[in-house]
Amino acid sequence: MLKRLPLLVILSLLTVCSFAAYSEKIVVIVNNQNKADSLSSDLIGDIYLGRTSRFPSGEPVKPLDLPKGMAITHDFYAKVVKKTPAQLRAHWSRLVFTGKGRPPKRLSDESAVKSMVSERSDSIGYMYEKTADDAVKIIFDAH
């Protein structure tokens, strides 16, 4: 058993390192014409939870979401909005039931989000950094 311990430790370290190497960075994007150069995670959370409907400049904001089952969606809400899927369901159920809000518009994939954000100055979305390009402006990095 003691002879196998170093091998188990090495395998465990390799597993952890491989997950870290493959974890992709999530970024929040807006239209290139948007006046904001950066937003705090708290403000982004407020936008995605329907607590605010405006950018700091006063312009309206329309958050765009990705499908519930995607890893990026789970990671975005956990890291940036700081909510679990159960907390999100409860939050939006309350707001929709009372007529005080509607959840973000859900699009099919990252390319749809990038396309809509590049076309509409009031949109905000999230995607993996590798998907972002000059068509949009990165305003937050959820490392």
The answer to whether residue 10 sits within a structural domain is no
Tell how strand 123-128 and strand 62-65 pair up.
Answer: parallel
How do residues 75-128 score in pLDDT, each as one tens digit?
999 999 999 999 999 999 999 999 999 999 999 999 999 999 999 999 999 999
The answer to whether residue 40 sits within a structural domain is yes
What CATH code is carried by the domain that includes residue 75? 3.40.190.10
The answer to whether residue 2 sits within a structural domain is no
Q: What is the pTM of this model?
A: 0.83
Tell how strand 26-31 and strand 123-128 pair up.
Answer: antiparallel
Torsion sign (Cα): 114, 45, 89, 51: negative
The answer to whether residue 11 sits within a structural domain is no
The answer to whether residue 8 sits within a structural domain is no
Residue 127 · residue 76 · CB < 8 Å: no
Count: domains in the chain: 1
The answer to whether residue 14 sits within a structural domain is no
How do residues 53-83 score in pLDDT, each as one tens digit?
999 999 999 999 999 999 999 999 999 999 9
Domain span holding position 119: 25-142
Phi then psi for residue 81, to 5 deg, are -85, -20
